[in-house]
Amino acid sequence: MPRPIQALIHPEALRHNLAVLRASAPDARLWAVVKANAYGHGIEHVFSALAGADGFALLDIEEARQVRALGWRGPILLLEGAFELRDLEACSRLDLWHTVHCEAQIDMLAAHKTHVPQRVFLKINSGMNRLGFAPHQARAAWTRLNALPQVDEISLMTHFSDADGPIGIAAQAQAFEAATADLPGERCLSNSAAVLRHGLHAQQTAQSMPASDWVRTGIALYGGAPDFGQSDAVHAGLQAAMSLRSQVIATQQLETGSTVGYGSTFVAQQPMRIGIVACGYADGYPRSCGTGTPVLVDGQPSRTIGRVSMDMLAVDLSDLPASGQGAEVTLWGYASGGALLPIDAVAQAGGTIAYELMCALAGRVPVVADAALPQAR
Ligand SMILES: *Cc1c(COP(=O)(O)O)cnc(C)c1O
């Protein structure tokens, strides 16, 4: 028998989440963001379920090649654009649209030998201060691009730093609008948080989402809440697209004063029973999720005990006398009986975010593609 850990991918949840996002941004076309191997889910595992999107947005030419090989003929956008001239040749070959965020990328385009002009997304830095032209440089960059025979249509994009928090998107949306008001082209603005928090069905329409021809959604497609703490996935109507499950492979009876795991960080305050689970940080379960992180054992709430080690972790079985060796352990997502452990709750206990957990799923974890959602959810 293989080691019992498995990551289950639920295409039905991906389809559902896509529909939720569409309903919140009904007038925009939607990029399914599948960078980082579809946030750890596997591009090949999410492709058909997300093929109802208008395009796929990602970073690596290799991932773009994969999406084309799966049969996608629609738009693909490189979110960081070209890194070297050769990348533009791949863009021509694979028919990729690409972001232009700096002068060096315009220089590359000017040097690119092609008969087929390329669609570009001119990125404006409206306050995130990662990539993009400063607002006052927008017009000059657009003018330079527009003069190049290598360039076809120019779209305009920016990225919000605070769509998920109290600062919101209004100031950045305004800076973008001011910088681009008299420039033609499609607009491409919002991420998951902007769509869910400021889109059509936003629960807290603090600042309404600016008109956008395209939105770029990632985390919410996979069922992560972009603003966990203020909201959660269930509240946002999202379903978990990944369940990480394993089993109890041993149990231990602890006496008062017994310790658990490396560093003996957990000390039993009374006699108790624990289960040892085949899941550790080499599977992508964060080491920061020591004592107290929520887990489900046979669908019942429990918690981790002690430090997470490379291949194992311990869970509390004190209140679960019926669960022993072979018990199902859900690290995040749905238990087979239908109970949900939101990945956001696990991430929060470990001091991180759902994005990081999903992306860190290790290659050694067997993936069950096309896993049905449990019936009794
Ligand atoms: C990753 C990314 C997104 C998607 O963000 P989510 O919060 O996952 O929806 C959108 N735009 C850009 C530029 C990105 O890099």
Task: Provide the CATH topology of domain 11-222.
Answer: TIM Barrel (3.20.20)
Residue 172, ligand 1, Cβ within 6 A: no
Q: Which of 123, 262, 281, 285 is catalytic?
A: 262
Q: Which residues are registered as beta bridge partners of 123?
A: 157
Mean pLDDT score across all residues of the chain: 95
Neighbour-count burial for 42-67, b at 16+ CB within 10 Å, e otherwise: bbbbbbebbbebebbbbbbbebbebb
Residue 218, ligand 1, Cβ within 6 A: yes
In the reported structure, the alpha carbon of residue 100 is separated from the centroid of ligand 1 by a whole-number distance in angstroms of: 16
* pLDDT on residue 109: 98
Q: Hey, what are 266's tokens?
A: 């957990």
Give percent of the chain above pLDDT 70. 98
What ligand 1 atom has the least distance to the C-alpha of 39?
A: 8
The identity of residue 63, as a single letter, is E
- Tell me the pLDDT band of 177, cut-offs 50, 70 and 90: very high
Which of 269, 249, 247 has the alpha carbon at shortest distance from 259? 269
* pLDDT on residue 41: 98
pLDDT tens digits for range 69-85: 999 999 999 999 999 99
Neighbour-count burial for 291-322, b at 16+ CB within 10 Å, e otherwise: bebbbbbbbbebbbbbbbbebbbbbbbbebee
* pLDDT on residue 200: 73
| Sequence spans of domains, the chain | 11-222, 242-368
What is the secondary structure of 178-242 as a DSSP string?
HHHTT--S-EE---HHHHHHHSTT-SS-SSPPPP-SEEEE-GGGGT--TTBTTB-TTTTT---SE
pLDDT tens digits for range 190-246: 999 999 998 776 655 556 677 899 999 999 999 999 888 888 888 889 999 999 999
The identity of residue 152, as a single letter, is D
Catalytic (active site) residue 123: no
The pLDDT of 12-18, averaged and rounded, is 98
The identity of residue 163, as a single letter, is A
In the reported structure, the alpha carbon of residue 267 is separated from the centroid of ligand 1 by a whole-number distance in angstroms of: 42
Fill in the DSSP letter of residue 131.
S
On the 0-12 / 13-18 / 19+ scale of CB atoms within 10 A, 117 is middle
Res 357 pLDDT > 60: yes
- Tell me the pLDDT band of 144, cut-offs 50, 70 and 90: very high
**Cα–Cα dist 360/376, whole Å:** 29
Task: Classify strands 313-316 and 300-305 as parallel, antiparallel or unpaired.
Answer: antiparallel
pLDDT tens digits for range 255-310: 999 999 999 999 999 999 999 999 999 999 999 999 999 999 999 999 999 999 99
In the reported structure, the alpha carbon of residue 103 is separated from the centroid of ligand 1 by a whole-number distance in angstroms of: 23
**Cα–Cα dist 265/272, whole Å:** 16
* pLDDT on residue 276: 98
**C-alpha Rg value of the chain to the nearest Å:** 23
Q: Hey, what are 213's tokens?
A: 């021809």
Residue 36, ligand 1, Cβ within 6 A: no
Res 120 pLDDT > 80: yes
- ∠ CA 193-194-199, rounded to 5°: 115
**Cα–Cα dist 343/358, whole Å:** 8
- Ligand 1 pocket check: which of 191, 198, 212 to mutate, most ligand atoms within 8 Å of Cβ? 191
pLDDT tens digits for range 33-83: 999 999 999 999 999 999 999 999 999 999 999 999 999 999 999 999 999
Catalytic (active site) residue 222: no
Residue 223, ligand 1, Cβ within 6 A: no
Q: Judge whether 302 and 316 are in contact, CB under 8 Å.
A: yes
Q: Judge whether 37 and 284 are in contact, CB under 8 Å.
A: no
Say what the pTM is: 0.96
Residue 189, ligand 1, Cβ within 6 A: no
* pLDDT on residue 206: 53
Residue 217, ligand 1, Cβ within 6 A: yes
The identity of residue 368, as a single letter, is V
**Which residue, judged by its Cα, is nearest atom 4 of ligand 1?**
218
- Ligand 1 pocket check: which of 24, 29, 33, 59 to mutate, most ligand atoms within 8 Å of Cβ? 33
Number of residues that make up the chain = 377
* pLDDT on residue 96: 98
* pLDDT on residue 202: 65
What ligand 1 atom has the least distance to the C-alpha of 216?
A: 10
* pLDDT on residue 201: 63
State whether CATH 3.40.225.10 applies to domain 242-368. no
